[in-house]
Chains A and B, each alone.
Chain A
Amino acid sequence: MPSSAATPASSLKSPEPAALPAVEFRDVSKRFYFYEHRTSSLREWFIRRVLHRPIHVRHTAFSLRDIDLRVDAGESVALLGANGSGKSTVLRLVAGIYHASSGVVETNGRITAVIELGAGFHPELTGAENVGLYAAVLGLTRKELAERYEEIVEFAAMEGFLDTPLKYYSSGMEARLAFSVAVCLQPAILLLDEVLAVGDRAFRHRCLERLRMFHARGGTLLLVSHELEQVRELCTRGVWLRDGQVVMDGDIESVLTAYRAGPG
């Protein structure tokens, strides 16, 4: 464990007291409960009742344990770590999909979370209809969508397919369309969970361009990715998680170096 290289989060950036942080976690833990009765049935319930067996067998698993994290507006932060280390849980807590078991999560600014590309897409609807629905899912009004529709279509570069039902799209095209909606929303905080590996090379290049522009304009970016080269290009700060705890938090180069050397 490369603990010698670890930098405490507080010493990295001198926090400006006037500015509100984009995201702040104070002593946040997230526990998940697994109930054994979850997939069981009334029959099971009755048998257990009669035999005086416990009905709810509750297992607890920590996904995050006492996390403190402060992300200032305009930062671009990469979350690194092995599968199951709690990266996606952090993003879901920021987005408000999960609620913290203890501690406080505070966010300032409009958030767009892309946890799964194209969740809410319907195969029977056309590309254009799906763009409208996905934008609505992400919280856009019709007026806001109308202002951005051209940009979304142009970014996706698939004008010829917009009136085709989504089920005839290739999976790459579908992901491209979803990603285009997400990046054209101009939120204050953008959360991306392993969704950068979509489309062909040209499209990926444009995505990275787009995200750089988003960052340059002062947007806050939180990124989960296993493609370390992309991470190095996009982010200035890295947070390495293991078993739901922050192992290391610092500038991206040093965290990446330690992460590459460290065990998973």
Chain B
Amino acid sequence: MTATLLKASTRPPRLVRVWRYRELLRGLVVRNLKVKYQRSLLGFVWTLVNPLLTVTILVVVFSHVVRIQVPDYWAFLLSGYFVWNFMLQTLNTGTYIFTEHSRLIRSVAFPSEILVFGAAGSRLIEFCAEIALILVALTVMHHHHLPASYALLPVLILIQLLLAIGLALPIATLSVFYHDVYHALPIALTTLFYLSPVFYPARMVPEAARPFYFLNPIAGLLTLYQDVVYAGRLPDPLLLFGTASAAVVICLVGYAIFRRYAGVFAEIA
């Protein structure tokens, strides 16, 4: 116990060490994108094909079979679906990121959260490209003018990033100890897909259930995106503030859980 305390005092604080390794973070983001897109003719198009196919199916089903009463349903769906897709992929990465890099963790002393940040970072760059295309499409075909609410997007993206990292870190930590996470997470995420306002607006949820419904911070995040991108209006300040606070708290707690166990990853991963 004394040893750990003494040791900790001689080392710089964790976040200082992370900052010193910012070059590695940049390197990992570039590597992830390069490895994904090199030697592929269509490159980024493939990243869009899968979610767009799902969006198309959802549009057909929910505007012609089960009719959800939302004008320009395609625009509504686009404003949230890619956010959901970002969360899904970043959280899934958490289940294998440390085992994938176990050789590295065993042989170099570096702050291993950089691996999670790098995965989220490269995914975020893709997301920014996606949302840019969506904004263009919605401005031209849905709003027919440029809504001022778009200015709030950087804030939403920051909330989204904090939330993704805050959830991915404990998932990645747990995955080092239990392989079950790898099997359980897809089930949990499928459940969460239906419990989040991805393909229906949150106002369709019965009033009585809504306080519980919004305990899911992803529900808040998606509603914010739908307000800003689809409705083109400023969101409810209470929702914005609440979701931002939840994201910060989740990020701090998730990081604390990760830090509690990060010291033994080199012995286990």
Contacts and interface: CB of A to CB of B under 8 A. Distances in A.
B3 A129 contact: no
Contacts of B179: 39, 41
A174 to B, nearest CB: 13
A32 B106 CA distance: 14
B38 A124 contact: yes
Interface string A109-134: 00101111001101011000100110
A153 B153 CA distance: 44
B103 A119 contact: yes
Given A104-B6, A125-B35, A132-B27, A137 B267 contact: no
Interface residues on A, range: 35 or more
A236 interface: no
Interface string B20-50: 1101101110010011001000000000000
A132 B38 CA distance: 18
Contacts, number: 95
A125 B30 CA distance: 11
Given A136-B23, A139-B21, A140-B23, A96 B109 contact: yes
B31 A125 contact: yes
Interface string B82-107: 00000000000000000001011111
Nearest to B177: A38
A159 B107 CA distance: 27
A106 B8 CA distance: 11
Contact of A137 (B3, B20, B34, B108): B108
B257 interface: no
A136 B114 CA distance: 12
Contacts of B266: 92, 97-98
B268 interface: yes
Given A97-B108, A99-B7, A139 B20 contact: yes
B35 A119 contact: no
Nearest to A141: B23
B51 interface: no
A100 interface: yes
Interface string B172-194: 00000111100010000000000
Nearest to B10: A106
A103 interface: yes
Contact of B24 (A39, A96, A119, A137): A137
Interface string B237-269: 000000000000000000000000001001110
Contacts of B103: 116, 119-120
Nearest to B21: A139
A176 B179 CA distance: 35
Interface string A35-56: 0001101100000000000000
5 contacts: A38-B268, A97-B105, A102-B2, A133-B28, A137-B110
Contacts of A104: 2-3, 6-7
Contact of B180 (A41, A101, A114): A41
Interface string B184-224: 10000000000000000000000000000000000000000
Given A32-B267, A99-B263, A116-B103, A42 B180 contact: yes
A6 interface: no
Nearest to A145: B23
A246 interface: no
B189 to A, nearest CB: 17
A133 B27 contact: yes
A95 interface: yes
Contacts of A116: 103, 106-107
Nearest first, the 8 closest Cβ-Cβ pairs linking A and B are A115-B107, A96-B109, A136-B24, A116-B107, A136-B27, A119-B107, A136-B23, A119-B103
B109 to A, nearest CB: 4
A100 B108 contact: no
Given A97-B109, A129-B31, 10 more contacts: A42-B184, A99-B3, A100-B3, A102-B3, A113-B107, A113-B108, A114-B107, A122-B35, A139-B21, A141-B23
Interface in A198-248: none
Contacts of B24: 133, 136-137, 139
Interface in A82-107: 92, 95-106
A142 B23 contact: yes
Nearest to B34: A125
Contacts of B3: 28, 99-105
Contacts of B38: 124
A141 B23 CA distance: 6
A162 interface: no
Contacts of B177: 38
Given A92-B266, A100-B3, A133-B27, A139 B107 contact: no
